[in-house]
Amino acid sequence: MIKKLLFFILFLGSFIVHGQEVGILIKSTLYPYDKLIGWHSAKHIIKIGQNSIQKGTNSPVDVIEYDFFYINDNPTEINCIGSYISSIDGNDCKVGEYPSPPYNIPYNKYDFRYSLFNGCTGSSEIMGIYIPQPDTNQKCAEEVMTLTNGWNWQYKYNDGEWTDFPSQFQEQTSISFKIKDLGGHENKSQIYFHAGYGVGSQAKYTNTRSYDIIGCSPELVDKKPITTNVKCSNESSGSATLQFKTELKDNQEFLFNLFKYNIDLKDFDFLSSASSLKKDIKNNTYIWNNIAHGTYFIKYQAQTNTETNDKVGSSAIKTDSFIIEDVQPLTFNLTGIQPKCSTDKGGVLITVKGGTSPYYYILDNETKKLLIKNPDTITLSKDGDHKVIVVDSNNCIEK
């Protein structure tokens, strides 16, 4: 019997702890009592599953009240009612109550963020208090991170004590900060966050999110790479240059990933990867060569080589998207110029389009010569068949 009782107590305790993961905070602004309307039987009600609040006031000024409660069941909507009966002008107000249609807000406790209910005698901001699952649980101390769905915030390192965020972050539904600005992060491997309502011993908090504190990759001088376009049409001769604010450490190397925009999927696809040791990075600059025309971004991180030859990744940094432009294909036309007299010399009119000027021509395997203008006529010293090749300033030819 004792064993069964202990099991029941432990089970109930586990249920309660798990149930306190999600909360709702309602900030209600109650309007001053309007003597010109003379309202009575006023209602300002919000119901969420097993929880509800009902507000009323006779104050001559606005009154702001906060209500916080945990969501231990699984409601699918928030029901709101606002109404009053006017004892003077007969213009009653009803919101969410017959004969007006129901006022229901869709609700999922794990992704609900915010909604506003404007009733007859007040308004309520309804805020979900539950820090959502992040895209990654690894952050470097220099990286800006954002937490949402909170109000009052705390953090702690590893097995340390919970500490309040600075005052400028309190009573905010969303906060952005760097771990380094919180202080005390040196030699710490993890940091934890939770959010709730209240301060001190009266505070009530919901779920906890943890992050691994990882090393920081060198940041970019400019998030948009410096680009060079392809030299010849439909060839991979473009480039993107990244310049870093700081250099790699001696035991680190860069890993770069190139992503290209896929027009059919309307999203970026991984294209290729490259790595570079510290000795290969000159003047804190890396150039990715041999890129075809298109729209891209690069994602990179510094990796640390450990004594056991493992690679530990630092923070991943993504560049802004950039475009490598194509060039118009080089084409040219030849028009023979016949001599008018037997003593005259013939010629050929060369007309060039596309490519990159200036243009050059090669006549009968002679040396390359500049095409002075476009179009231009060159003289032929003898009769017969002749071979003409045209190239542009990048040595592109007609294909």
Q: How far apart are CA 392 and CA 378, in angstroms?
A: 17
Q: What is the pLDDT of residue 17?
A: 38
Long-range contacts of 275-279 (CB under 8 A, 24+ apart): 277/253, 278/247, 278/248, 278/249, 278/250, 278/252, 278/253
**Which of 341 and 110 is assigned the larger pLDDT?**
110
pLDDT of 223 reads: 95
pLDDT in the model for residue 181: 95
Residue closest to 240 by CA, chosen among 216, 258, 254: 258
pLDDT of residue 343: 63
Q: What is the mean pLDDT of the chain?
A: 89
pLDDT of res. 378: 84
| Verdict on whether the full-model pTM lies above 0.85 | no
In this structure, the strands spanning 204-214 and 138-140 are: parallel
Q: What is the mean pLDDT of residues 267-275?
A: 96
Contact 67, 90 (CB under 8 A): no
Q: Could you report the per-residue pLDDT of 55-67, keeping only the tens digit for each?
A: 988 888 999 999 9
